[in-house]
């Protein structure tokens, strides 16, 4: 039976919690302690982890080093993932400058754009490539993940080309839904949608 997607989405939160506890010098934790950090129930955490095996013992808790290792194994974070970035605008510049990706095992190995004024220009340690070379470059690089930071009007066309070139996961910053084959995983990052959902709670009805 497939693991529910919502469970997979919580695993990185568990990993982040484990790392934070380790940084505090702790070696053992409990589902209750993790629950307090994450705002979840301890039963939910135990149920989620049980999809992948037994990682703790009743009355003894979880060995943090072991749980850290197992969560990275489950999420396939025990290896480095090469990514391509499409879009060399302000967001693309910010993503290239961020060290967070590299620290967590993700490396941007190529950046593409359609603007002739940007093509051939340096962007961090990389040189911006022509988006027309997208397919051949991805096959050459062997990347499986792409970050999409293009205008909404271009997102679907570029995403389709990414999928055809072998990309299997897309982190989409464009404010548009993508129609792609089911085997291509898409994660949407849209701050405006999140803001609009939060304002619902800010004003009393009437």
Is 21 domain-assigned?
A: yes
Q: Which of 38, 54, 74 is the last residue of a domain?
A: 74
Contact residues for 129 (Cβ-Cβ < 8 A; gap 6+): 110, 111, 112, 113, 119, 137
Same domain, 107 and 165: yes
Domain limits for position 33: 5-74
Same-domain check for residues 136 and 186: yes
In a domain, 198, yes or no: no
For residue 135 the two structure tokens come to 């397919």
Please, which residues have CB within 8 angstroms of residue 153's CB and are 6 or more apart in sequence? none
Each residue's pLDDT tens digit, 131-152 = 999 999 999 999 999 999 999 9
Tell me the per-residue pLDDT of 83-135, one tens digit each, with 9 for 90 and over.
999 999 999 999 998 878 888 889 999 999 999 999 999 999 999 999 999 99
pLDDT of residue 1: 52
Q: Are strands 61-63 and 56-57 parallel, antiparallel or unpaired?
A: antiparallel
Q: Which tokens sit at 101?
A: 């990706």
Task: Name the domain count of the chain.
Answer: 2
Burial class (CB in 10 A: 0-12, 13-18, 19+), 183: exposed
The DSSP symbol for 81 reads: E
Q: What is the pTM for the complete model shown? A: 0.87
Residue 200 lies in a domain: no
85/139 same-domain check: yes
Q: Are residues 14 and 98 in the same domain?
A: no
- Is residue 150 included in any domain, yes or no? yes
Choosing from 53, 74, 95, the residue where a domain stops is 74
Rg for the chain, CA atoms, rounded:
20
Domain CATH for 174: 3.40.50.720
Q: Say whether both 114 and 66 belong to one domain.
A: no
CATH of the domain at 63: 1.10.10.10
> CA end-to-end span of the chain, whole Å?
46
Same domain, 139 and 123: yes
Contact 185, 169 (CB under 8 A): yes
Per the rule left: phi > 0, alpha: psi between -120 and 50, beta: everything else, 156 is alpha
pLDDT of amino acid 108:
95
The share of the chain scoring above pLDDT 90, in percent, equals 83
Q: In the prediction, which pLDDT does 204 show?
A: 74
CA distances, 67 to each of 12, 61, 63, 103 (Å)? 12, 10, 6, 19
User: Does residue 183 share a domain with residue 85?
Assistant: yes
18 and 65 housed in the same domain: yes
The answer for residues whose C-beta is within 8 angstroms of residue 61's C-beta and 6 or more apart is 28, 29, 30, 31, 33
Residue 94 lies in a domain: yes
């Amino acid at each position: 039976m497939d693991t529910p997607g919502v469970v997979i989405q919580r695993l990185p939160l568990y990993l982040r919690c484990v790392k934070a506890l380790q940084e505090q010098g702790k070696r053992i934790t409990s589902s209750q302690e993790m629950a307090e950090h994450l705002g979840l129930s301890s039963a939910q955490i135990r149920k989620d982890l049980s999809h992948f095996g037994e990682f703790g013992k009743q009355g003894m808790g979880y060995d943090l080093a072991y749980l850290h290792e197992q969560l990275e194994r489950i999420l396939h974070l025990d290896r480095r993932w090469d990514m391509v970035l499409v879009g060399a605008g302000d967001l693309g510049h910010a993503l290239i400058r961020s060290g967070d990706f590299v620290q967590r095992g993700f490396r941007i190995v190529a950046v593409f754009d359609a603007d002739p004024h940007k093509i051939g220009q340096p962007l961090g340690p990389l040189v911006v490539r022509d988006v027309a070379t997208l397919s051949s470059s991805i096959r050459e690089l062997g990347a499986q993940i792409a970050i999409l930071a293009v205008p909404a009007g271009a997102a679907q066309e570029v995403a389709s080309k990414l999928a055809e070139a072998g990309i299997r996961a897309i982190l989409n910053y464009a404010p548009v839904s993508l129609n792609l084959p089911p085997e291509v995983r898409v994660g949407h990052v849209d701050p405006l949608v999140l803001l609009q959902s939060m304002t619902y709670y800010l004003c009393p009805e009437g």
